[in-house]
Amino acid sequence: MLEAREGAIIQSVNRLLAEKGFESMTVDEVAADVGIAKASLYKHFPSKEDLAAAAMVSVMRRAQAFLDTLPAGPSPMEQLRAVVRWTMGLKLAGEMPSLPSQNSRLRSALMGNKAYMDGLIDVSDRLGAWIEAAQAQGALNPKLPPIAVLYTLYARACDPVLEFLKMSGLYRDEEIIELVMTTCFDGLKSR
């Protein structure tokens, strides 16, 4: 019962964060969207930052669940590609919260959230292992530092190219994903 309510809250926060961003999202909006009073919201989450952190924890759990479904096959490169596809699909579906990297209050809340940090480290470790394996196989450019590759993959979750192409109205979501998959893995140059 309490969990269901908090789930509904997180779902609203997730959608509003994806739609308007952290600073433009107001707690009043969240309360209205959930259909409860603002004061009730604050009984569940002590601050706006904690609301955002809860949304990030939720997304991180979904990511972990998705990673679990990927077969531990012989191709780490395919696994990385699958993760990027999934991430961009989430963003295009309006379910990827977008947080400002500058806001320090928010950063503190995230850093202090054990569930979030544990999830982030777990996901990063798993991706990191695949990155190194793919480089060892020669599928991924071995000259790139693994951390640069990791950040480049994470950045697909907040890539403005996705929303710009969507706004243009020229392509379907699947086409947009394939375009950005190409620029991400193959680059802009001809092969």
Binding site for its own copies (CB under 8 A): 19-21, 23-24, 77, 100-103, 138-145, 147-149, 151-152, 154-155, 158-161, 163-165, 168, 170, 179-180, 182-191
Q: Which amino acid is at 179?
A: L
Residue 31 Cβ vs DNA, minimum distance, rounded to whole Å: 7
Residue 2 Cβ vs DNA, minimum distance, rounded to whole Å: 5
Q: Which is nearer to DNA, 28 or 118 (CB)?
A: 28
| Among 147, 11, 131, 145, residue whose Cα is nearest residue 83 | 131
Other CB atoms within a 10 A radius of the CB of residue 184 amount to 18
Q: Which is nearer to DNA, 35 or 138 (CB)?
A: 35
Q: Which amino acid is at 122?
A: D
Q: For DNA, how many residues bind (rule: CB under 7 A)?
A: 19
Q: For residue 23, what are the contacts with CB-CB under 8 A and spacing of at least 6? A: 100, 103
Q: Find tokens 């590609």 and name the residue.
A: 81
Q: Find tokens 């379910």 and name the residue.
A: 95
Q: Which of its own copies, DNA, none is residue 165 near (CB under 5 to 8 Å by kind)?
A: its own copies
| Among 82, 99, 96, 95, residue whose Cα is nearest residue 177 | 82
Residue 102 Cβ vs DNA, minimum distance, rounded to whole Å: 13
Residues that bind DNA (CB under 7 A): 2, 5, 25-28, 35-40, 42-44, 46-49
